[in-house]
Structure 1
């Protein structure tokens, strides 16, 4: 998540988005903000076909990392994995930038994903199984992916990020202790290609579009969190809305059964899920803490306080777990 100051400024005016959109063909007057979280996502139309403009702020995502993301997506798509397609600008580039007084904005345009979104309340066992197969297919391809240029960040970069965030807040000693425990544990694990590689890290239902046809499958979006980590973390974060709910065990089993049709998943790895959940919670806590470190904001909109309170509550809940 971006810091709240950048979010407020970005939502207040779409001037930077309008300027970046000029690099691509579009129908005038169709730009519409859809999301502001780790980046800004706008929908727009071109010849009455919908596309999505994603804008990142340079302090949150570098051009090199976005190039690495697009290379991975191209590799997946070339090998038959269904994902959205980045669109070249009028300058024949996949990435365009805009320098402003606040910093540099980085833009990419993607096609829209085909399919429908599912939710944890109505998803079926069969769909859970397809979801697991989809993630396994991604991991199978990740095992043979060798980037030509820049590599995506790794778990070590996340450790450095978390340490830098926690050291800015002297009161977060428990988080630092948790980070040391997690780091020591991760360092003890194998990094064999069968268990470790480039993961999606946000393979949740809101980033998946289910296509019902003769060959049911998921179209996948949002690879901007992809990093080198253990595949087990991708399973844990994907199942985040299910894993703590005893009534969801049968759905989780369907997901894991689907995953095992394409990837090995030993019982000892499944037994490590709670540890990976601890890591994911710690990383989430650090990102929230970083987003709340926003400095001075003038004229905050009505939604700002509500979002801030929500983030503080989530951070408090995650912090309480560090004592256990």
Structure 2
């Protein structure tokens, strides 16, 4: 069986599992699932005959534990209840639990799943006029950082740490090894290695003190935002964890780091952030480092998720396009 055929078969199995999951929730039996997004997890739009909609997330096997998922939901729910930002509202199953197990005879084991109320809004595109959205996002990020510092986390709270080693290190990085990027060769690897080494040195000097490192969303890219009128909503907390606060300034330009409008968009983000929190010169100075770290992390992500359509569409071109960014970063900060 080809890799492509195996991928298609897996999607069919997951879709069948999503349709079976309707019985676990208080939604009409005739509701149907349609694949909405495939990334770390598979997200489905569940639509009832009367037009009501929900979002069902089926978790990737082995990526997040049940306790880690419960931790994610606890933070996102408190952000919503506290009025910090609009986040998706999770719904309990018929048994009262927010996290359900979806079993299927062709899956190796049951998958964790969460159903959310459907959030209206439009995912912004890099070709849109993003100045206002980026400023709003900077303000939201700062409010989330304030909340994270003050929120009394449950004793059982557990989430990934997105430090240097878990992002770009050699020992079990969360999204794979950057040196296995699609189209990577020896010459490219040397440039990437110099960049990774420089990032490591700068982040070691920057440090991980409480004022710089804490609980963040960590994946505030355009695909995880919904613009609904004047409101910017934040979705998909699946990668939330402990990292540098300024990493949240880099993730909004994910996959578009090379675009000419990026410096101005980051300035818009900083304007919004300063409405809530001061931005120290040391923090501002390292934003390019976090943009570069994120770009190389995504080179690894593309390679480790190459079976999905979006990573496949980026392929070796994303690795090649990162070289100029690496060289520019080395010139500016070596």
Q: Does 1:31 align with 2:20?
A: no
Among candidates 69, 73, 76, match of residue 70 of structure 1:
73
1:48 aligned residue: 51
Q: Does 1:22 align with 2:12?
A: no
C-alpha separation in 1, matches of 2:326 and 2:46:
43
Following superposition, the deviation at residue 139 of structure 1 comes to 1.5
CA contact (8 A) 2:179 2:300 kept: no
Closer, same or farther: CA 317–253 of 1 in aligned 2, 3 Å = closer
Among candidates 231, 254, 258, match of residue 245 of structure 2:
231
Following superposition, the deviation at residue 181 of structure 1 comes to 4.7
CA contact (8 A) 2:178 2:300 kept: no
Moved more, 124-133 or 38-47: 124-133
RMSD of the TM alignment (CA)? 3.3
2:111 aligned residue: 105
Question: What is the aligned length?
Answer: 309
SS at match of 2:246: helix
Q: Does 1:117 align with 2:123?
A: yes
CA contact (8 A) 1:4 1:291 kept: no
Q: TM-score, structure 2 length as denominator?
A: 0.79
CA contact (8 A) 1:69 1:224 kept: yes
Closer, same or farther: CA 11–79 of 1 in aligned 2, 3 Å = same
C-alpha separation in 2, matches of 1:35 and 1:126:
26
Structure 2 gap ranges (5+): none
Among candidates 144, 167, 189, match of residue 206 of structure 2:
189
Post-superposition CA distance 1:175-216 (Å, at most 9, x none)? 66755554444333232333221111221233222233xxx4
1:308 aligned residue: 312
Q: TM-score, structure 1 length as denominator?
A: 0.81
Structure 1 gap ranges (5+): 295-302
SS at match of 2:243: strand
2:162 aligned residue: 155
